[in-house]
Copies of this chain bind each other. A is one copy, B any other.
Amino acid sequence: MSLVFGQIEPAVFQAYAFWAAVLGLKMLLMSVLTGLQRGSKKVFSNPEDVKPGGKVAYDDPDVERVRRAHRNDMENILPYFIIGFLYMFTGPNVTVASNLFRLVAIVRISHTVFHVLVPVHKFRGISWAVGFFTTVFMGVRIVVHFL
> B-contacting residues of A (Cβ < 8 Å)?
2-7, 13-15, 17-18, 20-22, 24-25, 27-28, 30-31, 45-46, 48-49, 65, 68, 70, 74-79, 81-83, 85-86, 89, 115, 119-121, 132, 135-136, 139-140, 142-143, 145-147
Instruction: Verify B28–A132 contact, CB threshold 8 A.
Output: yes
A82 to B81, CA, bound (A): 7
Q: Which 4 A-B pairs have the closest CB atoms?
A: A21-B142, A18-B146, A48-B121, A25-B139
A17 to B52, CA, bound (A): 43
Q: How far is the CA of A14 from the CA of B22 in the complex (A)?
A: 25
21 A-B interface contacts by CB (under 8 A): A3-B6, A4-B5, A4-B6, A5-B5, A5-B6, A15-B146, A17-B86, A20-B82, A20-B83, A20-B142, A21-B139, A21-B146, A24-B82, A25-B139, A28-B79, A28-B139, A45-B68, A46-B121, A49-B121, A77-B79, A78-B79
